[in-house]
Amino acid sequence: MKTLPIQIRIDPALYTKDPESSELGKKIVSQSIQLIDELGFEGFTFKKLGAKIGSNESSIYRYFDSKHALLVYLLNWYWSWVSYRLAVATTNVPPSEEKLTNAIGILTAKIKKDQTISFVNEEMLQRIIITESSKAYHTKDVDKENEKGFYRTYKSVVQKVSDMVLELNPNYEFPHMLISTVIEGAHHQHYFSQHLPSLTDVEIGKNNIVRFYKDLVLSSIR
Amino acid sequence: MKTLPIQIRIDPALYTKDPESSELGKKIVSQSIQLIDELGFEGFTFKKLGAKIGSNESSIYRYFDSKHALLVYLLNWYWSWVSYRLAVATTNVPPSEEKLTNAIGILTAKIKKDQTISFVNEEMLQRIIITESSKAYHTKDVDKENEKGFYRTYKSVVQKVSDMVLELNPNYEFPHMLISTVIEGAHHQHYFSQHLPSLTDVEIGKNNIVRFYKDLVLSSIR
DNA sequence: TATTTATTGATAGTATTACTATTACTTTTG
DNA sequence: CAAAAGTAATAGTAATACTATCAATAAATA
């Protein structure tokens, strides 16, 4: 687990105590990812996490107010990381269809093993995001949480890629809908391919999800 | 509340006792829709529902094994109803872009008041589907439930509209991904327009969600 | 080195949830 | 009228999602 000098900055509003500030905090984050992946978000509890990391439920509550708060933290971590990868792939690249499809690739492709840049297993985290992330904002408290900036990172990713759409076609009417449709759609397609395959057209080794969304975006804005 | 002679058939695997077979059963369904709409699925309990309909928690359990089972029932009710509306709009209509865009309209438009064909308030039900339906299949038990046919109605709607896509372009590679992307996407856009508007391009009175998805589909398959 | 201070652990407790089980009452039907 | 079916009321259970308190220990500082 090598740590490259990459900054994944998380808004302090998203935790009670910064999990990056201690070994316990990092364990909480990394092991919660494993446990949510294993049990699903509903089956996951702080008590079980405490047992897994040899710590106490009450200690975990010092870092996160609730398991929902932890999920929102993970969501922001994921989108910060995507944002970083988008920046690497597109800054100072002149507007072109290639630039945009590279971005779409980042938004829609499955992560391969060993991209780990820190204590977070990104492959597993993406699996959680695919399966559980919509539960983070399908809550009675969305509006309050949105005001507190809980979804800022996600919204900024959508904004960035929407801007690339407008670079290519300044008259395109629906850039945000297009990109948020692609992002959420790709999550659904990855999930469906595992569990409800008749809702997809996935074939092994053909990378159809990425191909589909690249084609969708280009044909819509051309 | 006029009742037209329309059959919304629900697979008996989806309930313990048929809620359409008694007044209590119908109350359970119609009032649960109101209560889920009001409290959100997490805040909704059978105890609260019992209080609301002047009945007992234990009586509700005779109709549905769990609140999750009730949600799955509502999901199937909704998709049966959409299926019926699709059939009305498209059977014996020759293949054409208009036929397909009519179908897309049914999948993506917000329901207006007073389409009520039975004891179910479809406008409210659609709001629940938009907000809560993804929770029905983002569960550790998806695979088991899928085998039992819990998602059959949804899958059949996707299949029907995918077939319309293939009528227009038999060589299109991704009809199922396209249609499931449209359906889930439209739900997200309706939800985002209320709660995270920067992820959309909704303007009042311009029907942008429907226009966006019709355009998306046609430009993809042409 | 002594002493605050911060951090973690352990234990206990609470209200609520998502049920199950039992019994009794009431309504329908044959 | 009696049997059967349906419903209501009550009680109980294990687990969840916390909160509160206090002791133990490690780290920081005076």
> Chain A: nearest CA to B171, how far in angstroms?
13
Query: Within a 13 Å sphere around the CA of A87, how many CA atoms are in the beta-carbon half?
Result: 11
Residues 148-207 of B with CB under 8 A from A: 151, 154-155, 158-159, 173-178, 180-181, 184-185, 188-189, 191-192, 195-196, 198-202
The H or E element containing residue B15 is: none
- Non-local CB neighbours of B20 within 8 Å, separated by 6+ positions: B10, B26
pLDDT digits 0-9 by tens, B181-211: 999 999 999 999 999 999 999 999 999 999 9
Task: Check if residue A57 sits with its Cβ under 7 angstroms from strand C.
Answer: yes
Name the 3-class secondary structure at B91: coil
C-alpha span between B103 and B113 (Å, rounded): 20
User: Which domains does chain B carry?
Assistant: 12-221 (1.10.357.10)
Please determine, for residue A5, whether its predicted confidence score (pLDDT) is greater than 90. Answer: no
Residues 117-136 of A with CB under 8 A from B: 131-132, 134-135
* CA atoms B32, B37, B39, B43: torsion sign: positive
Kindly state the tokens that stand for A156.
Answer: 């900024």
Please determine, for residue B65, whether its predicted confidence score (pLDDT) is greater than 50. Answer: yes
pLDDT digits 0-9 by tens, A57-102: 999 999 999 999 999 999 999 999 999 999 999 999 999 999 999 9
Buried b (16+ CB within 10 A) or exposed e, A172-207: eebbbbbbbbbbbbbbbbbbbbebbebbbbbeeeee
Contact (CB, 8 A) for A180 and B199: yes
Q: Which of A217, A222, A220, A219 is nearest to A105 (CA)?
A: A217
Task: Check if residue A140 sits with its Cβ under 7 angstroms from strand C.
Answer: no
Tell me the chain B residues in contact with residue A140 when contact means C-beta distances shorter than 8 Å: 39-40, 42-43
